[in-house]
Amino acid sequence: MNINGATALVTGANRGIGKHFVEQLVAGGARKVYATARNIDAVDIHDPRVIPLRLDLLDEGSIGEAVAAAPDVNLLINNAGITTGANLLSSPLEEIRADLETHLFGTLRVIRAFTPVIEGQGAGAIINVLSVLSWVATAAGSGSYSVAKAAEWNMTNGVRVELAGRNILVQGVHLGGADTDMMAGVDGPKIHPADVAKASLAGLEGGAIEVLVDDPSRFVKAALSGDPSHLYG
């Protein structure tokens, strides 16, 4: 799929990786970019091709309104997310449900709503921003997020299967950590969020259904076929 001339919608576009997706799309010649967030006043990208739009993954009404306001989308980028920091054994179940409701069900709501729109353009793509934690659990405080991202990863695969033959490419993007507000309290190496958007969009133009952005994501993906003690020993 060519970025030049595309009409894209990006969730969580007010900061971090989502904001850089918007900037990279504009730089790549996108015809129009709907930059969505729960609070559109937080979308601070000034370009005539960028249209701020309210969208809340947990609000069916706002998703429906976004579909009505963006009837020409052929590229959907699901980037919005949260992290509660919940532990699986000790945190309230409501916090774990919040992670799942956002990353799994919220993202799926948006995909279900916009798939007919993309299909109506004749062809297009869906990108889901995932994580190395889709495949591995790490430190305490990431268990709930990891479960939610694992669910979102296989939902991405399932959607890809269901859309086979319908001219909609479905891409999953994995990374270890990016230097964003969400990761501010996490130690360890972090890549620039712009690198995530660049790698994903380059992969899209090459037809890639999976993009591994950094060394941690490549290492863990390669290790999955081996003894899990190498990851948890």
Dump pLDDT digits (tens) for 27-75. 999 999 999 999 999 898 889 999 999 999 999 999 999 999 999 999 9
| Between residues 222 and 190, the one the model is more confident about | 222
User: Which DSSP category does 62 fall into?
Assistant: H
- Tens-digit pLDDT profile for residues 156-207: 999 999 999 999 999 999 999 866 656 545 666 678 999 999 999 999 999 9
Element (H or E) spanning 32, and its range? strand 32-37
Alpha carbons 115 and 123: distance in angstroms, whole number = 10
Give the pLDDT of residue 25: 98
Closest CA to 193 of 22, 6, 1: 22
Give the pLDDT of residue 45: 85
Instruction: Report the percent of the chain where pLDDT is more than 90.
Output: 87
> What's the average model confidence in pLDDT over 100-115?
98
Which residues make beta-bridge pairs with 35? 10, 52
75-93 burial, b for 16+ CB within 10 Å, e for fewer? bbbbbbbbbbbbeeeebee
* 7-232: CATH architecture: 3-Layer(aba) Sandwich (3.40)
- Tens-digit pLDDT profile for residues 11-39: 999 999 999 999 999 999 999 999 999 99
Alpha carbons 145 and 132: distance in angstroms, whole number = 11
The per-type count for the chain, helices as H runs and strands as E runs, is: 8, 7
- Tens-digit pLDDT profile for residues 118-149: 999 999 999 999 999 999 998 778 999 999 99
Q: Output the six-digit token pair for 119.
A: 């299909």
Residue ranges of domains in the chain: 7-232
